[in-house]
Amino acid sequence: GPRPAPSAPAVLPALTAAKAAQDPAGLRAALTPLVDAPGLGKKLAASVVDTATGEQLYGHGATTPMTPASTIKIATTTAALSVLGPDHRIATTAALSPDSRTLTLVGGGDPTLAKADLRAMAAEAADALREDGEDGEDPAGPVRLTYDVSRYTGPELHPISPNENIAPVTALMIDEGRLDGSDRGPADRTDDPAGDAARAFAEALEKAGVQVTGAPREARVADEARTVATHRSAPLSALAERTLTNSDNDIAEALARQTAIAKGEKASFAGARRAVTNELKKLQLPVGGAHFADGSGLDRKDRVTPALLTALLARAADPDRPGLRPVLTGLPIAGFSGTLDGRYERDAAGTGLVRAKTGTLRGVNSLAGTVVDRQGRLLAFAFLASGSTSAAGAEPALDALATALAGV
């Protein structure tokens, strides 16, 4: 049942406390006993920086490439926001052939497209067809329905697919390919997201008074077709926040491909890898040893260093880069939201203070985010563990490390 909302300590408790800033030696003394916690497994790499100065306050294998799991989403969202801007929206369109006989649903790569959005598009398309017809007759049409998914190239299936954590990655889907009505977390997925979306659009067209002949088929939109309906996604700032808060794999892969398109690469796993890497280089971030096999962190071939993650978070905190701020505002809040909602007990130290992206694969547990220390400094941290035997053992140990930074 519902549990009482936790009460968070004051976010800046130390701005009123006359304490000397915790020096790196003091931080090392606080963290050293915690890094050896058995729950963290065979190997831990860590980095802590002061976001205002970029100074590394603590490092433990900070430049060691590690499997990041979902903390890689910090890189994916930063790259997308950097190249596209926080106001960018992903468009899904319907285009009508010059003879008004073929209507094409064109996928733009918006995994958050919903059936309600298709109903609104169907109503727009129906109006256009009636204008083209005689005396605005009903039913409008008839039309053949096609769907265009050519915006993406390469394999649709993630290396771990089929899997309840991710749908086939296509330029056209509804509800992230989920079959159970959920909007987050694992779920049974369709193996034909684009076809399902097209069939849902056909049904919406019929209900809007458009006669559709035959089953929808895949085809590229004709160059001379005119757009008669458009749906735009939420702004990229909101998509990035949702990616981080809920650890949304489908949006993460979509953002990686949007980055690829904007950088002139193919919208594929390989194109996204090159695009994200190059955009982070452009931001002058330390990408040595990094490998972005995907945008979500589900691929065990992914590699990042703790130093890269803390540099990403520090860049997102840069007053001169407000467009990157959703990377920070999207981080789950300890004990309150997203993937940290069930971590940190109601009265635990760190509740409400730690904001961090979680990462979990079998044998891999990670935590990367921000915390305000007792001196009011915004610290960025990354703790990446591998060889852990269970999340139940690793997660409290990671949470203790983040809490220690808050000095509570």
pLDDT one-digit tens code per residue, 47-103: 999 999 999 999 999 999 999 999 999 999 999 999 999 999 999 999 999 999 999
pLDDT at 133: 72
pLDDT tens per residue, range 105-119: 999 999 999 999 999
The pTM is what? 0.93
Nearest C-alpha neighbor of 78 from the set 317, 367, 404: 317
pLDDT at 136: 54
Segment 4-28 shows an average pLDDT of 53
Annotated catalytic residues are 70, 73, 247
Domain coordinates of the chain in residue numbers?
A: 13-87+238-406, 91-233
pLDDT at 106: 99
State whether residue 169 is helix, strand or coil: coil
pLDDT tens per residue, range 282-298: 999 999 999 999 999 99
Strands (E), 109-225: 140-148, 210-218
By percentage, how much of the chain surpasses pLDDT 90?
86
pLDDT at 234: 98
pLDDT tens per residue, range 251-308: 999 999 999 999 999 999 999 999 999 999 999 999 999 999 999 999 999 999 999 9
| 203 against 154, higher pLDDT | 203
Contact 148, 108 (CB under 8 A): no
The two tokens of residue 212 are 């559709």
Give yes or no for residue 220 having a pLDDT over 50: yes
Task: Determine the residue type at 140.
Answer: A
d(CA 322, CA 353): 22
d(CA 397, CA 394): 5
Classify domain 13-87+238-406 at the CATH superfamily level: DD-peptidase/beta-lactamase superfamily (3.40.710.10)
Q: How confident is the model at residue 135 (pLDDT cuts 50, 70, 90)?
A: low
Q: How confident is the model at residue 13 (pLDDT cuts 50, 70, 90)?
A: very low
CATH, domain range 91-233: 3.50.80.20
| 174 against 18, higher pLDDT | 174
State whether residue 260 is helix, strand or coil: helix
pLDDT at 399: 96
The two tokens of residue 39 are 């729950």
